[in-house]
Amino acid sequence: MINIKSEREIAIMKESCQLAAKTLNFIEDKLEIGMSTEDVNVLCHDFITSHGAYPSPLNYNGFPKSVCTSLNEVICHGIPSTKDKLKDGDILNIDVTTYYKKFHGDTNRTFFIGNVAPEIKDLVKVTYQCMMAGIEICKPGTRLGDVGAIIEEIAGDHGYSVVHEYCGHGIGREFHEEPQVLHYGKKGTGVEIKPGMTFTIEPMINLGKRHCKLLKDEWTVVTKDKKPSAQFEHTILITESGHEILTLDPDKPYSPTFE
């Protein structure tokens, strides 16, 4: 069942989404070579809780940390650790979900650590373009297959692959709601988008092949060929005439340069 949000629900949900975006803006200024992904986790946890919210991933189905930190070949759901230190040339995805006033807000970004190789910078840039292209076509009457199709087309045009096993999702009072939002597909297929729907678009794009492997911790997902993977995510609302990105910090909207 897809939950259509009321105006009141949307107003509250926007607050949670904006806090998630503010968390990413906060941590971006703190990232440096040598810090651990656990350091990232602690800083994000403290920032979220200091604003009266709860980090949604913490204890969600047993996940042990407050954010996901996915380095290089890790596609998603990387567990923060004191052993994982940020190195020059790394890429790091930080996935933040806040639970505030009984609503979740979900967003992630891939960050450059130090001097990143040009081919990996290009992967990250195209991954962001894939997400934004999927968002831009969202309006009443669009089908979710259209979203997946345009993401897959752009990734393929650059020689990249799209992860199939993990997808975007509806979100609101629950962390994960219907519908599932695949990042591949066929135009004209899938659920029809309607006003009041809220969901994430969060493509995972690989430099190599799309195939992935779940590690023994039963959370961390890596590329089978060990090549880098990038991801971006926004939570969006479908309006009467189009869409609104909810996970933007009104004080500092995200506008990447990928330099």
User: Is 13 in a helix, a strand, or coil?
Assistant: helix
Q: Do 248 and 18 touch, CB atoms closer than 8 A?
A: yes
pLDDT value at 55 more than 90: yes
Phi and psi at residue 138, in whole multiples of 5°? -75, 120
- Say which residues have a Cβ less than 8 Å from residue 17's Cβ, sequence separation at least 6: 98, 105, 106, 107, 235, 246, 247, 248
Which of 166, 153, 172 has its CA nearest to residue 220?
166
Note the pLDDT of residue 14: 98
The whole-model pTM stands at 0.98
Mean pLDDT of 29-33: 97
Instruction: Please check the confidence at residue 16 and state whether its pLDDT lies above 90.
Output: yes
The pLDDT assigned to 41 comes to 99
Amino acid code (one letter) for 117: A
CB atoms within 10 A of CB 89: 14
Give the pairing of strands 212-214 and 168-170.
unpaired
Q: Please report which residue ranges of 137-240 form alpha helices under DSSP H.
A: 144-157
Q: What mean pLDDT comes out for the span 199-206?
A: 98
CA distance 107 to 50: 19
Give the pLDDT of residue 84. 98
Is the per-residue pLDDT at 257 higher than 90?
no
pLDDT tens for 75-95 read: 999 999 999 999 999 999 999
**Domain chopping of the chain, boundaries:** 7-245
Q: Which tens digit of pLDDT belongs to each residue from 112-151? A: 999 999 999 999 999 999 999 999 999 999 999 999 999 9
Structure tokens, 257: 């340069």
Give the closest residue to 235 by CA, choosing from 78, 8, 24.
24
pLDDT interval class at 259 (50, 70, 90): confident
- Terminal CA-to-CA distance of the chain, rounded, Å? 42
Mean pLDDT within 190-211? 98
pLDDT digit string (tens) for 102-114?
999 999 999 999 9
Tell me the two tokens of residue 132: 């934004």
Give the pLDDT of residue 189: 98
CATH fold group of domain 7-245: Creatine Amidinohydrolase (3.90.230)
Q: What is the pLDDT of residues 153-198, one digit of tens each?
A: 999 999 999 999 999 999 999 999 999 999 999 999 999 999 999 9
